[in-house]
Amino acid sequence: MRAMISVRSLALGAGLFASSAFAGDAISQTTKQPINLTAIGMFFIFVLMTLAITYWAASRTKSTADFYTAGGGITGAQNGMAIAGDYMSAATLLGLTAMMYTRGVDAYIYMIAFFVGWPVILFLMAERLRNLGKFTFADITAYRLNQGKVRTMAAISSLVVVCFYLVAQMVGAGQLIKLLFGLDYGIALVVVGALMMVYVTFGGMVATTWVQIIKAGMLLFGGTTVVILAMTQFNFSFDELTTRAIDVHKLGTKLLAPGSLLADPVTAISLGLGLMFGTAGLPHILMRFFTVTDAKEARKSVLYASGIVAYFFNVVALMGLAAIIIVGQNPEFFEGGDIGGAIIGGGNMVAMHLAKAVGGDILLGFLSAVAFATILAVVSGLALAGASAISHDIYSRVIMKGKATEKAELRMSKFATIGLGVVAVLLGLAFEKMNVAFMVALAFGVAASANFPVLILSMYWKGLTTRGALAGGYLGLFSAVTLVVLSKSVWVDVFGFAAPLFPYTQPALFSMPLAFLATIIVSNMDTSRAAEAEREAFGDQYVRAQTGLGAASASSH
């Protein structure tokens, strides 16, 4: 899975929070643009606005509950907007618009594939997560199991996912800023890392949530404005838009027919499983369900997020089709004025060229600023999820065995955030030239293989035991990592071997069933007294998951 400006990398690059990584790798192949003063000015306005929010949020962040979950005071609508803000990445905007421009309806098929994970969360998980958890998803997996062992496993897999995502986002940030703003890679990394540390350390979940909400609003406004201005050229007729696009595109009528993206069914299914169930195992997504007041608001937040994301995907699809005519037929957007040649700045710049064509430098600057703001919002959510795994799960519950004071845990959270920020910047610098696509495959693979099976079984299966959870969780983690290392992404592209030992690029189809099997088999074989007690405790967990009784006041067991 080489992350170059190709249909495949753009398709994969659109996926969820990870997508900035693919675009980052793809963008690294493009040329640095002149310094865009409009974009920089608008970005500074966004930064000042979010720093003011962080200052306000800091006065409200007094306890661990405030820091991790905004005191549970976020409404369903606000949380839905924040989740959508995390979901709609800069590379979704850039990568999927470019893919729609080059491959037509194939891009729309991928948008639907990325969307499928939401019903799983809405119908199977949202309500139970809110009723059972307090700060992290480890609260749920360890609810009736051995606290120390299960929390350690959950925290390790969470940190693996968070770290790989952070690296991917940081590389994506550096490359995007080089491309859109004309600034140096290293400067971009330091700016993103520093702002992330300020948002999370001082403002916690309150600041992070509002950064995500504002960014989502800006992205929706920017995208909608571009589409409205573009559609004026087609009398707001979708029929006229598609007819003209088919007439000028090299694919002709095939523009609106499925193409070659699903030619390899094993990779397609494995990618689909990873995206669908990986979403339901991502720590920074699961953490958002503890910020709302009750289970009803948790369900509402998924519903709002689904609606917003569905709307945004349709906006992106229209942008891609409009760009075929407005950008693709305008020589000023091609190097040497040669229509059909190389696009100035590279393939991922199609959305930005469309913005300039319909709205001039101001709209281009606004959309560029939104792209950077997007990465800040995603990185802040990741840092918070990583800090909570370190301070709440490992420090407070495992090392201090639940005896740490709230003040000490809060202090540890802030140290962990600063540490993660420094690590993210250093790793971003180290991986600047490296293909980071495998990190994204790894993040999804680990989330779908190590987190999701244990999490879903702990909520729905009475027979789960500590030994089973540990076997499945660790096997899922190591098998996903191993398969990615043995795939072409690492074995060939990074290590330089002639052929991969594992023929596919996505591990989920193989590692996720392995994790489920190991969990179920080991749990069924466990006849110890502790295992029987864990099975008996399922009744109490089931009642609380369904009713929420004790959820508001009880601490995580």
Check residue 28 and give its pLDDT. 46
* 417 torsion bin: left (phi>0), alpha (psi -120 to 50), beta (else): alpha
pLDDT digits (tens, 9 = 90+) for 107-129: 887 788 778 878 888 888 888 88
Check residue 441 and give its pLDDT. 67
Instruction: Give the count of alpha carbons within 13 A of 105, CB side only.
Output: 11
Q: In this structure, is the dihedral angle defined by the CA atoms of residues 65, 464, 118 and 258, taken in order, positive or negative? A: positive
The stretch 125-141 carries a mean pLDDT of 85
Q: What is the pTM of this model?
A: 0.83
pLDDT digits (tens, 9 = 90+) for 399-426: 988 888 888 988 999 999 999 999 989 9
Check residue 93 and give its pLDDT. 84
- Rounded to 5°, the CA angle 234-239-245 comes to 70
Check residue 16 and give its pLDDT. 37
- C-alpha 21/C-alpha 25 separation (Å) is 6
The stretch 29-50 carries a mean pLDDT of 78
Check residue 436 and give its pLDDT. 61
- C-alpha 372/C-alpha 436 separation (Å) is 19
- C-alpha 551/C-alpha 287 separation (Å) is 15
Check residue 311 and give its pLDDT. 95
pLDDT digits (tens, 9 = 90+) for 425-444: 998 888 877 656 667 767 88
pLDDT digits (tens, 9 = 90+) for 16-36: 333 433 344 444 445 566 777
Which residue(s) pair with 74 in the sheet? 292
- Of 523 and 164, more confident: 523
Question: Does residue 205 carry a pLDDT above 50?
Answer: yes
The stretch 311-318 carries a mean pLDDT of 94
Contact between 214 and 401 (Cβ < 8 Å): no
- Of 397 and 442, more confident: 397
- C-alpha 509/C-alpha 516 separation (Å) is 12
Strand runs labelled E in 203-245? none
- C-alpha 329/C-alpha 343 separation (Å) is 11
Please tell me whether residue 20 adopts helix, strand or coil conformation: helix
Q: Tell me, rounded to whole angstroms, the distance of Cα 248 from its chain centroid.
A: 35
- C-alpha 166/C-alpha 52 separation (Å) is 25
Question: Does residue 53 carry a pLDDT above 70?
Answer: yes
| Range scoring the smallest mean pLDDT among 6-20, 146-160, 162-176, 206-220 | 6-20
Check residue 551 and give its pLDDT. 61
Check residue 461 and give its pLDDT. 94
Check residue 449 and give its pLDDT. 93
Question: Does residue 309 carry a pLDDT above 50?
Answer: yes
Contact between 186 and 429 (Cβ < 8 Å): yes
Question: Does residue 223 carry a pLDDT above 70?
Answer: yes
Check residue 488 and give its pLDDT. 85
Band of the pLDDT at 241, cuts 50, 70, 90? very high
Check residue 235 and give its pLDDT. 94
Strand runs labelled E in 353-487? none
The overall average pLDDT reported for the chain is 84
Question: Within a 10 A sphere around the Cβ of 463, how many other Cβ atoms?
Answer: 15
- Rounded to 5°, the CA angle 387-201-205 comes to 70
C-alpha distances in Å from residue 106, one per residue of 91, 158, 261, 354: 17, 32, 7, 20
Q: Which domains does the chain have, with CATH numbers?
A: 18-547 (1.20.1730.10)
Residues written for the chain? 557
Question: Does residue 261 carry a pLDDT above 70?
Answer: no
Which residue(s) pair with 343 in the sheet? 334
The residues, ordered by sequence, that sit 6+ positions from 123 with a Cβ below 8 Å of its Cβ are: none
Band of the pLDDT at 337, cuts 50, 70, 90? confident
The stretch 346-372 carries a mean pLDDT of 88
- C-alpha 193/C-alpha 420 separation (Å) is 9
The residues, ordered by sequence, that sit 6+ positions from 496 with a Cβ below 8 Å of its Cβ are: none
The residues, ordered by sequence, that sit 6+ positions from 541 with a Cβ below 8 Å of its Cβ are: 132, 143, 144, 459
Question: Does residue 273 carry a pLDDT above 70?
Answer: yes
Question: Does residue 181 carry a pLDDT above 70?
Answer: yes
Q: Which two tokens stand for residue 318?
A: 């229209």
pLDDT digits (tens, 9 = 90+) for 276-306: 888 888 888 888 888 888 888 989 999 999 9
Contact between 141 and 41 (Cβ < 8 Å): no
- Of 177 and 550, more confident: 177
Q: Which of 105-114, 258-267, 340-349, 533-542 has the highest mean pLDDT?
A: 533-542
DSSP symbol at 345: T
The stretch 222-238 carries a mean pLDDT of 95
The stretch 383-409 carries a mean pLDDT of 89
Check residue 532 and give its pLDDT. 94
Check residue 438 and give its pLDDT. 64
